[in-house]
Structure 1
Amino acid sequence: MPKAASKAATKATDGFDLTRVGPGTIMGEMMRQYWIPAAASSELKADGDPMRLMLLGEALIGFRDSSGRVGVLDHQCPHRCASLFLGRNEQDGIRCVYHGWKFDVDGKCLEMPNVPPPQDFKEKVRAKSYRVREQAGLVWVYMGSRAEAPPLPMHEALFVPEQDLTVTLLQREANWLQGLEGDIDTSHFGFLHAGHINADDFEEGHPARHTVANRAPEYKVGDTEWGTMYGAFRPEAGGKMHWRMAHFSLPFWTQTPNADFADHVVAKAWVPMDDEHTMLISIYGGRAKGATYSSSKLKSGSGIPGADKLDYLPNSTDWFGRWRSVQNPRNDWEIDRAAQRENRIYTGIRNIVIQDQAVTESMGPIVDHTKEHLAPSDIMIARTRRRLLTVARAFAEKGTVPPGIDDAEVFWKARAGSFYADDKVDWLDAYQQQLKAAIRWPAAGQQAAE
C-alpha cells in the first residue's frame, strides 16, 4: 500500500475508533468504566412520568420511585419487549402496561400478575438496569460490569456547596468529540467569539484582553494523570508571561480557561447520547459560578456582543427531545448577516455558546478526520486524540484500567484559568504555584493530593 494511502487508512481507523461509542466499540467500552452524568436530578419526579434517556447509543428509561430512588433500565420490558416508557410509575416500581409486570429500580421483577401463582417465576427475571448515584444536582449512571462500582470522579466543581453551584444542560446535534475539541481549542476565541473586538476595547487585566491582543498564542502541551493539559502563553511587558491553562480529563471532560485562575471552578462533560448527539453538561462553582463570558465587561461597561441568554425549545418525550436550543441547524442558528457584515458580531450569531454549537454542527454529524489539515495551533487536539486512543485501546487489548477510575482523586489536581507568571518560570512550575494559592474544594481533595 502506498505511504499516503496507508496514512489515510490509519487516520480513518483512528477517526472511527474515536467517535463511535455504542456497545462493543473501544471508545464506548472505555467510557462505560466511568460514572456518567446522564440527567438533571430535577428531571425525574417521585412517581412521575418515565423519561426516555439515550446514553452511549443505548435506549434507556429513567424514573424516580415513590421512595425517591432513581432507576435507569433498558426501555424494553424483558417479557415481550414493549417499551417501559409507556409504563406506570407507581408504588416503588415501574409497571409494564402490556401485561402488568412490575420492576424496581434495580431491575428486579416484583410482580407477574398475568401468570397464575403456581407458575410465577419472577425471581428468575430481571430488567437490564444500571447503577445510579446523585451528586451536584445530577443523576449519574455506571454502565460498566464491575461487581463494585468505582468512586465518582473527584472533579473539584462537584464538591462546591449547592448554593454556589450552577448546572446547565444543552444538547448538540453532532458527535461528542467535535464538541469537546472546541473546548480545548483556545485560539478560536479571538475569532469566533471576539473577532469584532479590539484589545483597546477591554480594560487592562480583563481575562479576554490577551486573546484579541495576540490571536496566535504559542502552546505548551502535556499528558497528565487525568488526561491532557495545555498552557497558551503570550509574552507581556516587564518580564511577565500571560498563561491560559486548561484541561481534558478522561473520558469526556473539559475545563475551560475563561476566568481568572483563582476564581474559576468548572467541569464540562461532553456526554455521548449516541454517535451523532451529545449532551453538554456544564458545572460551574465558586465565585465564578455560571461564568463563561456573560459576566465579562468591556471598557465601556457593556457586555461582549453575543453573550445573550440561551433560549430553549420546550422539552418533548422524544429520545432526543431534551435541552434543545431555539437556535439550531434548521434555522441556521438564527444567523444575522447584517450584524456580521457590519462587524457588530463577528459570526452574526447572537449567543456565544451557540457560536460554538453552530461551527461544530456545521461539520456534519461525525466529522471526517481524513479531510482535516491540523496546524500547530491544534497541538492540544492532536495530543488529546492520541491519549484517548492509547487509553481505550489499552483497555480493549490488555484490560488496562483507564486513569481516574480507581484513583478518582487525580481529577482534583486539574484547575483551569488565566494568570500572570515570571517569564523565566517553567509552565508546569507556574501552574503548581497557582494551584497552591487557589481556594480549593473540597478539603478532602487537598488531603488526598498531599
Structure 2
Amino acid sequence: MLSREENDLLTRTGPGTPMGEMMRRYWIPALLSWEIPEPDCPPVRVKLFAEPLVMFRDSDGRIGLLDEFCAHRGTSLWLGRNEQRGLRCVWHGWKYDVTGQCVHQLNETDETSFAHKIRVKSYPTCELGGVVWAYMGPPEKVPPLPKFGWTQVAETHRHVSKVIEECNWLQGLEGGLDQSHVGILHKSFRHDQANPGSLPDSFNARGGSPSFDIEPTSFGHRYVAIRPLGERQRYVRGYNFVMPFTQIRPFSPKNEAEAEKKFNPGHMWVPIDDENCVVWNWMYSWGKEPLTDDDRTERSLANGPDDVDQKTFRSFRRKENDWLIDRAMQRKENFSGIVGVNTQDRAVQELQGRIADRTKEHLGPADQAIIVARQVLLQAVKAVRAGEDPPGTDTSYYRARSAVKIIAADAPWRTAILDDMYPSAADQLAVD
C-alpha cells in the first residue's frame, strides 16, 4: 500500500504538481488528426493535465494549441472563427496566431491597438501517426519526436482510437500493467469461438496464475508474464512500459491463423484532469500485411465506432448505465457479464473511485509490475526535481515492441523473445 502523500504525488497532475511537471517533459497525444482535418476547420477543445486548451489548424495547415480563454475578457476561443491564419474571438474580435500572439483587435483602431503586447499561452505541437502531439514542458527541454513504431508505418498499417475513462489516469495504467487479471476478468466460458467482448481462452487466458520477471530499461521497464501449459510448455507474454503512461502489449489473436500476424498493439493513459483520462489505443502491422477493416473495428475490445461515440469519445457502455451488464451473460458466457474487453477494464477501474485510495490496498507477488511502475514514476519525479531528465525522454524506446511465444518448460524466456521485443534495424520497419 501507499501512504496518502505518495498516492497524491502519483495521481495529481495539474499545473505545478510534481507528477504533472514530470509528465510535461514528454510529448503528449492531444487529438486525432481527423478531429482537425483541414485548414480553417472548426477549433476543438482539449483538456490536458487540468489545463483547458483549444486547438486549431490555420489557413497554412499549421497547428496551434492555445489557452482556451481570450486574454481580453476571458471567454472561450472555442467559439472563435478560424480564418486568415488565426483564431478570432467572436466577442470583440481579438485574433491569435498559432504561437498565441494577438495579431489583430477588431474593437480597437489602428491607432489604439495594443495587439503586439498581448499573447496567450501556447504549446508546441507535432503530427505523427495520425495523432497531434503536444509538448507542455520547459522550452529548453523539448525531447526528440515521439517516434513509436506505430507512428512510422503507413496509414494502411495502423489504427488509432481513443475513449474517455472516468477515473484517474493511474488506475488505467495500473490496470494495463496488471496481468494476473487477464484470465479472470476477461474469461470466456465459450470454447468454440470468441464470445463478443471476451478473449479466447485458448490464447490470452492460457494456463494458471502467471509468474513474472520484471527488468528495468532506459525508458521504463519490461515485464514478462509466464503461464504454465501443462508440464512441458510455458506461455510467455512480454510487455514494455514506456514512461510515463504507455504500455506496449502483445497482440491477442482470435485463432491459430491470426497468431501469424505481425501486429503490435498498445495503450496510453493521458490525464484530462485528476478524475478523468483519455485512453489511447493503437495497433499496427510491422510486416507487409496491412490492417483489414475488421482489424480496425476493435470489436472484441469495444473501442470502435460501434461502441464509442466519435464526437464525445464516451463509451456507450459506461458507469451511468452500469456498462450494460448482463447477468445472464455473466452466468453462461463470460466472467463479467460486460461486453468488450476494455469496457470490462474500465468498469472495474472506474468503480475504484475517481481517485483510488491506495492506502487500503493489499498487493501481492502478482502485482509486481504495478509496484515497479510506481517506483519508476516516483524516481522520475525526484530526478526532475533534482534538475535531471526523466527516463524515456530520448530515443531509446523507438524500437520497443512486445512479444508472445510458447516455449519449452525448461527454455529461458530471454532467448526466446528478447530479439522480438527489441528488433534490430534490419528486422523492422525503418525509423528515421
Same fold flag (TM > 0.5): yes
Secondary structure of 2:3's match?
helix
2:362 corresponds in structure 1 to: 373
Q: Is residue 269 of structure 2 the alignment partner of residue 277 of structure 1?
A: no
- Identify if the C-alpha distance between structure 1 residues 437 and 151 changes in structure 2 by more than 3 Å, giving closer, same or farther: closer
1:101 corresponds in structure 2 to: 94
| Aligned AA (2:328) | A
Secondary structure of 1:15's match?
helix
Q: Is residue 429 of structure 2 the alignment partner of residue 442 of structure 1?
A: yes
| Aligned AA (1:403) | P
- Identify if the C-alpha distance between structure 1 residues 251 and 347 changes in structure 2 by more than 3 Å, giving closer, same or farther: same
- Identify if the C-alpha distance between structure 1 residues 72 and 112 changes in structure 2 by more than 3 Å, giving closer, same or farther: same
Structure-to-structure mapping, 1:319-338, within 5 angstroms = 322-338=312-328
- Identify if the C-alpha distance between structure 1 residues 351 and 435 changes in structure 2 by more than 3 Å, giving closer, same or farther: closer
Secondary structure of 1:209's match?
helix
Structure-to-structure mapping, 1:225-264, within 5 angstroms = 225-236=218-229, 240-259=233-252, 263-264=262-263
Task: Give the superposition deviation at 1:340.
Answer: 1.2
Would you say the 8 A contact 1:187–1:211 is kept in 2?
no
Task: Give the superposition deviation at 1:121.
Answer: 2.3
Q: Deviations over 1:50-98 (max 9, x none)?
A: 2111111100011111222211100111122221112111111111122
1:403 corresponds in structure 2 to: 391
Would you say the 8 A contact 2:401–2:422 is kept in 1?
no
Would you say the 8 A contact 1:210–1:234 is kept in 2?
no
1:13 corresponds in structure 2 to: 5
TM-score (norm 2): 0.88
* Equivalent in 170, 175, 188 of residue 168 of structure 2: 175
1: CA distance, partners of 2:168 / 2:373 = 16
2:330 corresponds in structure 1 to: 340
Indicate the RMSD between aligned Cα atoms, in angstroms. 2.9
1: CA distance, partners of 2:292 / 2:315 = 18
Secondary structure of 1:244's match?
strand
Q: Is residue 307 of structure 2 the alignment partner of residue 311 of structure 1?
A: yes
| Aligned AA (2:33) | S
Secondary structure of 1:419's match?
strand
Q: Is residue 381 of structure 2 the alignment partner of residue 392 of structure 1?
A: yes
| Aligned AA (1:434) | D
Q: Structure 2: which 5+ residue stretches go unaligned? A: 253-258
Secondary structure of 1:443's match?
coil
How many aligned residue pairs are there?
417
2: CA distance, partners of 1:182 / 1:228 = 16
- Identify if the C-alpha distance between structure 1 residues 207 and 421 changes in structure 2 by more than 3 Å, giving closer, same or farther: farther
2:255 corresponds in structure 1 to: none
Task: Give the superposition deviation at 1:329.
Answer: 0.6
Structure-to-structure mapping, 1:118-267, within 5 angstroms = 118-147=111-140, 149-197=142-190, 209=202, 211-236=204-229, 240-259=233-252, 263-267=262-266
Would you say the 8 A contact 1:258–1:292 is kept in 2?
no
2: CA distance, partners of 1:289 / 1:175 = 32
| Aligned AA (1:362) | L
1: CA distance, partners of 2:314 / 2:300 = 24
Q: Is residue 404 of structure 2 the alignment partner of residue 418 of structure 1?
A: yes
Q: Structure 1: which 5+ residue stretches go unaligned? A: 1-7, 297-302, 316-321, 446-450
2: CA distance, partners of 1:437 / 1:153 = 18
Would you say the 8 A contact 1:65–1:91 is kept in 2?
yes
1:448 corresponds in structure 2 to: none
2: CA distance, partners of 1:117 / 1:106 = 22
1:42 corresponds in structure 2 to: 34
- Identify if the C-alpha distance between structure 1 residues 426 and 86 changes in structure 2 by more than 3 Å, giving closer, same or farther: same
* Equivalent in 345, 351, 354 of residue 340 of structure 2: 351
Secondary structure of 1:39's match?
strand
Would you say the 8 A contact 1:165–1:289 is kept in 2?
yes
Which stretch shows the higher mean deviation, 189-198 or 368-377? Answer: 189-198
Would you say the 8 A contact 2:45–2:52 is kept in 1?
yes
Would you say the 8 A contact 1:225–1:404 is kept in 2?
yes
2: CA distance, partners of 1:248 / 1:149 = 21
- Identify if the C-alpha distance between structure 1 residues 335 and 207 changes in structure 2 by more than 3 Å, giving closer, same or farther: closer
- Identify if the C-alpha distance between structure 1 residues 174 and 261 changes in structure 2 by more than 3 Å, giving closer, same or farther: farther
2:350 corresponds in structure 1 to: 361
Q: Is residue 47 of structure 2 the alignment partner of residue 61 of structure 1?
A: no
Identity of aligned residues (%): 38
Would you say the 8 A contact 1:246–1:256 is kept in 2?
yes
1: CA distance, partners of 2:20 / 2:228 = 41
2: CA distance, partners of 1:75 / 1:295 = 33
- Identify if the C-alpha distance between structure 1 residues 433 and 367 changes in structure 2 by more than 3 Å, giving closer, same or farther: same
2: CA distance, partners of 1:189 / 1:339 = 18
- Identify if the C-alpha distance between structure 1 residues 84 and 382 changes in structure 2 by more than 3 Å, giving closer, same or farther: same
- Identify if the C-alpha distance between structure 1 residues 226 and 436 changes in structure 2 by more than 3 Å, giving closer, same or farther: closer
Q: Deviations over 1:391-420 (max 9, x none)?
A: 112212x01101221x22x11242113113
2: CA distance, partners of 1:42 / 1:212 = 35
2:256 corresponds in structure 1 to: none
| Aligned AA (2:281) | S
Would you say the 8 A contact 1:197–1:212 is kept in 2?
no
Q: Deviations over 1:131-177 (max 9, x none)?
A: 11111111111111224632122321111211111111111111111
Would you say the 8 A contact 2:207–2:228 is kept in 1?
no
Task: Give the superposition deviation at 1:353.
Answer: 1.8
- Identify if the C-alpha distance between structure 1 residues 79 and 268 changes in structure 2 by more than 3 Å, giving closer, same or farther: same
